[in-house]
Structure 1
Amino acid sequence: MLRTQFEEELLNLHNQFYEMGMMVSKAIHKSVRSYVDHDKKLAKEVIERDELVNELEVELERKSFEMIALQQPVTTDLRRIITVMKASSDLERMGDHAVSIAKSTIRVKGQERILEIEKEISDMSDYVKKMVDNVLVAYVKTDQEDARLIAKMDDRVNEYYESIYYNTIAAMKANPETVVSGTDYLDVAQYLERIGDYVTNICEWIVYLATGKISELNSNRDEGPAEYK
């Protein structure tokens, strides 16, 4: 009887994590849409809804600690709970970066814009969102092979960032009136690049869940689960 109840609680934990992930995925998509389309209303919606993401993370952490304390789970079950705790913290940070992009939208005044770079930022965000959606599916299936492939996608995110960086710097040098918008482009691209890093963190937690081992999947990052070795 107790075991069945524990498994139900574990399933609820996983479902809530997935729900949180979908909310973050939508937030990333909407924040970049709002930025490229100058849609301040949509940006405000992203900022307001972030409260729900934060509440879910706190709730997941509370439930996880409760389950560890009351049920004293062993091996696989404990790994599952730890994975949810760690990965939900990564999701929450991804949500924070989506909020930062939305705040950039609200700051934007009628400055000189560079449409080619905005197109590249939009493409980068579509790619990052695909990574987020893929990692949620890999998490649900505890698919470590998929997790390893998704982590490799982060190389492309870094390429997007470099391209946006160099194109923006060149545009700013050529036309000083683009300096304000250009600085914002660099910020937004960096937020997206960080989101890619957090997706890779979650990939590492999926591998940990499947194998019990913590692996560093992408050496191009400077933080992640490897620090818990």
Structure 2
Amino acid sequence: MSKHLQRDLERLNERILTLGAKVEEAANKAITALLARRRDLADEVCAGDEAIDEGEVEIELECLKILALHQPVAQDLRYIVSVLKVNNDLERIGDLAVNLAERALLLLEYEPIRVPVDLPRMADDVRTMIHTALESLVQRDARQAREVLAMDDRVDETHTHMFEAVEQLIREDVDRIRPAIATLSASRYLERMADLATNVAEDVVFLVEGEVIRHATVPVDEDAATAEDATA
């Protein structure tokens, strides 16, 4: 590897890890804003989205520059391909953090609704998945990345229960439709964050082992998602 390529790869690594830290912070703030009804944190998440978007664009341009200038092969090429994928997934998690923060702000207008679903546990699972996926990227640890994959089913299951609970709540109390739908949307955003954390973990496995495991996990219930989007 040339010194110039090594330098550029080190700089790229610093940038993707910095973006990951920003995205994790945004996700954590959005989750806390939702659970603790914190307007200040929700506002911070919305205000910080532009910096995440800018970071994503800079990383993509840096990857393209390295590909054009150095024409890397083997492990170096695999690393750049992985960074491009992770970069996109991180930006999408950042967008979902904004969406979640916006739902948190909307829910401040209503009294909390009661549903027989452990939303805080789901949120903690999502926090853990994002953190573990990013830590596996830092350490380039495929074993740690696979731990993330194992957690995704529980988040999906909790979201399915939330859909059923909100559907029942709306039938029983039509006056609670707006906060019920907002709560369901928040659950959906958390579920999508978990899916993207899973994507990051899959990319780490590809980076470390060269194995493509995407699509090997259980797919999202598209019927439930479609019905849910129709009610949003």
- Residue 227 of structure 1 corresponds to none
Deviation at 1:84, TM superposition (A): 0.6
- Per-residue deviation, residues 73-103 of structure 1 (Å, max 9, x unmatched): 1111011011111111001001101100111
Deviation at 1:219, TM superposition (A): 3.0
Instruction: State the superposition RMSD in angstroms.
Output: 2.1
- Residue 61 of structure 2 corresponds to 62
Aligned 8 A contact 2:37 2:108 in 1: no
Q: For residues 212 and 142 of structure 1, what CA distance do their matches in structure 2 show?
A: 12
Find out whether 1:149 has 2:151 as its counterpart.
no
Question: Do the aligned partners of residues 221 and 172 (structure 1) sit closer, same or farther apart at CA in structure 2, a change above 3 Å counting?
Answer: closer
- Residue 229 of structure 2 corresponds to none
- Residue 82 of structure 2 corresponds to 83
Equivalent position amino acid for 1:137 in 2: E
Aligned 8 A contact 2:106 2:182 in 1: no
Find out whether 1:206 has 2:204 as its counterpart.
yes
Identity over aligned pairs, percent: 31
Aligned 8 A contact 1:154 1:197 in 2: yes
Deviation at 1:180, TM superposition (A): 1.1
Q: For residues 168 and 178 of structure 1, what CA distance do their matches in structure 2 show?
A: 10
Equivalent position amino acid for 2:29 in 1: K
Find out whether 1:15 has 2:14 as its counterpart.
yes
Q: Bigger CA drift: 103-112 or 146-155?
A: 103-112
TM-score, normalised by the number of residues in structure 2 = 0.87
Equivalent position amino acid for 1:149 in 2: E
Deviation at 1:116, TM superposition (A): 5.1
2:160 counterpart (145, 159, 162):
162
Q: For residues 52 and 109 of structure 2, what CA distance do their matches in structure 1 show?
A: 31
Q: For residues 170 and 163 of structure 2, what CA distance do their matches in structure 1 show?
A: 11
Aligned 8 A contact 1:33 1:122 in 2: no
Deviation at 1:15, TM superposition (A): 2.0
Aligned 8 A contact 1:21 1:91 in 2: yes
Aligned 8 A contact 2:103 2:183 in 1: no
Equivalent position amino acid for 1:140 in 2: V
- Residue 173 of structure 1 corresponds to 171
Deviation at 1:163, TM superposition (A): 2.1
Q: Bigger CA drift: 193-202 or 160-169?
A: 160-169
Aligned 8 A contact 1:200 1:218 in 2: no
Aligned 8 A contact 1:34 1:42 in 2: yes
User: What secondary structure is seen at the aligned counterpart in 1 of 2:48?
Assistant: helix
- Residue 226 of structure 1 corresponds to none
Q: For residues 222 and 82 of structure 1, what CA distance do their matches in structure 2 show?
A: 29
- Residue 96 of structure 1 corresponds to 95
Deviation at 1:4, TM superposition (A): 2.6
Q: Bigger CA drift: 200-209 or 182-191?
A: 200-209
Question: Do the aligned partners of residues 16 and 222 (structure 1) sit closer, same or farther apart at CA in structure 2, a change above 3 Å counting?
Answer: farther
Aligned 8 A contact 1:172 1:178 in 2: yes
Q: Bigger CA drift: 32-41 or 134-143?
A: 32-41
Q: For residues 116 and 221 of structure 1, what CA distance do their matches in structure 2 show?
A: 22
Q: Bigger CA drift: 4-13 or 151-160?
A: 4-13
User: What secondary structure is seen at the aligned counterpart in 1 of 2:118?
Assistant: helix
Question: Do the aligned partners of residues 61 and 55 (structure 1) sit closer, same or farther apart at CA in structure 2, a change above 3 Å counting?
Answer: same
Q: For residues 46 and 132 of structure 2, what CA distance do their matches in structure 1 show?
A: 24
Q: For residues 7 and 177 of structure 1, what CA distance do their matches in structure 2 show?
A: 61
Unaligned runs of 5+ residues in structure 1 are 224-229
Q: Bigger CA drift: 57-66 or 39-48?
A: 39-48
- Residue 4 of structure 1 corresponds to 3
